[in-house]
Amino acid sequence: MNTQDTRTRRNVTVLVMAQAILGSQMPMIFTIGGLAGQSLASNICFATLPISLIVLGSMLTATPISWFMQRYGRRAGFILGTLGGAIGGIVGAIGLYLASFPIFLIGSLFTGIYMSAQGFYRFAAADTASETFRPKAISYVLAGGLVSAIVGPQLVKFTADAYVIPFLGTYMAVVGVNLVGSLLFLMLDIPKPPIAAHDAPKGRTRWELITTPRIAVAVICAMVSYAMMNLVMTSTPLAVVGCGFDKSDAADVVTGHVLAMFVPSFFTGHLINRFGVERILAIGLVILGAAGVVALNGVELENFFIALVLLGIGWNFGFIGATTMLSGAHAPEERGRMQGMNDLLVFGGVTIASLASGGLMNCSGGTAQEGWTAVNLAMAPALVLAGGALIWLWLQPKGQRAA
């Protein structure tokens, strides 16, 4: 093992722990956010608006946080993210206590700061990694979500009804998770990027970066993988409960889904090294399509479980593949510019998907089953777009495709 990857393994360990502990707040909030929104909103079409506001907050802060990390380092940026998560938990709890939907939504916006910072864990893993170890480092960090997939929904079960006001205890637990998890970043060892001299290479402009074929396809595939996963996952608790099952069933389905998102991370990096990132990306898109097919074939509990497991695996292959492709397609001096723009676009797509999710689920039919059908049918156009982009990249001249 070379010295470079010795440091990387230490950083990966810290980031895996952060993903496990701090990351548990995301399945917690995604499990109950729509249900809490449904109890507070005057119009059930806006039930998933709290989740949409989290993603919107993530989208709006992606570029500023990327700049902040480029200027002050990863550690400072990640601690800033936990501060946003803690404030989001406090404001969300106040909104529940006062039965105020607007205040609850403000809390969701602050939670988006944490979600945005968490999105950079994967890039931080690649910062000090060798080219060979890079896809494995990214995979291992995302694998930390395996613990959060178990811890988060179980915390929901213990805290959702801990107080007279439903879900208040869950949001208080989110505050504690952020305060404890922030201490992990004191052990992170990623050097601050040097301040560029006036005559240092500036790299490509944002337009030049996004019009590079390999970067454009990586961004499109990341957008589609994440947005379609969010589209379906956001509506899942509403669909499960709406089809006659209870909240604990919804939490179990979300647990299965999040496990499927992160368990493959133990070998996704190896598969990318063996078969190539383009093939793994294509397989991910096919699996996402298969998830929709299973969901459209029934609303029994096993249909929900199988569909959401496939959704998680498809996201894993698609998102890790896209991240790996992007990480190798830009220079160090372009890192802050490109990564911030990537997450702005990715979470912009996720914001649209989460906003559409509630409307499709609650307002596109008379029953929960009809809404669930509309949600899953909506995946098709986006998957065709990503698949077409990947085929287009394959058709490019070899030198341009690999640039």
pLDDT value, residue 113: 94
Share of the chain above pLDDT 70, in %: 95
Is the residue at 132 inside a domain? yes
Kindly indicate the confidence band of residue 2, based on its pLDDT and cuts at 50, 70 and 90. Answer: low
Is the residue at 193 inside a domain? no
Report the CATH number that the domain containing residue 386 is assigned in CATH: 1.20.1250.20
Is the residue at 197 inside a domain? no
Two structure tokens written together for 264: 């493959």
- DSSP per-residue string spanning 294-333: HHHT--SHHHHHHHHHHHHHHHHHHHHHHHHHHHTSS-GG
Q: State the DSSP H helix or E strand holding residue 226, giving kind and residue range, or none if neither.
A: helix 213-242
pLDDT value, residue 201: 67
Q: What is the mean pLDDT of residues 113-119?
A: 91
> What does pTM read for this prediction?
0.75
pLDDT digits (tens, 9 = 90+) for 12-63: 899 999 999 999 998 888 878 878 888 888 887 787 788 888 988 988 898 8
Closest CA to 129 of 223, 218, 11: 11
pLDDT digits (tens, 9 = 90+) for 149-162: 788 888 888 888 88
Residue 1 has pLDDT above 60, yes or no: no
Is the residue at 196 inside a domain? no
- DSSP per-residue string spanning 188-219: ---PPPPPPPTTS-----HHHHHTSHHHHHHH
Residues contacting 57, CB < 8 A, separation 6+: 84, 108, 109, 110, 111, 112, 113, 115, 116
The span from the CA of 69 to the CA of 76, in Å, is 7
The span from the CA of 74 to the CA of 124, in Å, is 7
The span from the CA of 204 to the CA of 354, in Å, is 32
Kindly indicate the confidence band of residue 198, based on its pLDDT and cuts at 50, 70 and 90. Answer: low
Is the residue at 194 inside a domain? no
State phi, psi for 350 to the nearest 5 degrees: -65, -35
Is the residue at 210 inside a domain? yes
Hey, what long-range contacts does 274-277 have (CB within 8 A, 24 or more apart)? 277/135, 277/321, 277/324, 277/325
Q: From residue 52, how far is each of 60, 109, 308, 322 by CA, in Å? A: 12, 9, 20, 23
Burial class (CB in 10 A: 0-12, 13-18, 19+), 207: exposed
Two structure tokens written together for 39: 């109890």
The span from the CA of 21 to the CA of 126, in Å, is 20
pLDDT digits (tens, 9 = 90+) for 356-365: 887 888 887 7
Burial class (CB in 10 A: 0-12, 13-18, 19+), 99: exposed
pLDDT digits (tens, 9 = 90+) for 163-181: 888 889 999 999 999 999 9
Q: What is the mean pLDDT of residues 256-262?
A: 85
pLDDT value, residue 152: 87
pLDDT digits (tens, 9 = 90+) for 313-336: 999 999 989 988 887 777 777 777
pLDDT digits (tens, 9 = 90+) for 369-388: 999 999 999 999 999 999 99
Is the residue at 195 inside a domain? no
Q: What is the mean pLDDT of residues 82-93?
A: 95
Is the CB of residue 272 less than 8 Å from the CB of residue 135?
yes
Three-state DSSP state, 131 = coil
Q: From residue 19, how far is each of 57, 100, 369 by CA, in Å? A: 19, 31, 34
Residue 5 has pLDDT above 70, yes or no: no
Residue 7 has pLDDT above 90, yes or no: no
Residue 93 has pLDDT above 90, yes or no: yes
pLDDT value, residue 341: 86
Total count of domains within the chain: 1
Is the CB of residue 77 less than 8 Å from the CB of residue 69?
yes
Is the residue at 231 inside a domain? yes
pLDDT value, residue 194: 67
Two structure tokens written together for 47: 């039930």
Two structure tokens written together for 77: 């940026």
Q: What is the mean pLDDT of residues 85-106?
A: 94
Q: What is the mean pLDDT of residues 203-229?
A: 89
Q: What is the mean pLDDT of residues 138-147?
A: 83
Give the residue with greater pLDDT, 257 vs 194.
257
pLDDT value, residue 157: 84
Average pLDDT, the chain: 87
**For residue 301, what are the domain limits?**
3-188+203-402
pLDDT value, residue 261: 87
Name residue 392's amino acid: W
pLDDT value, residue 296: 94
How many contiguous H segments (helices) and E segments (strands) does the chain have? 19, 0
Q: What is the largest CA-CA distance in the chain?
A: 65
The span from the CA of 279 to the CA of 138, in Å, is 17
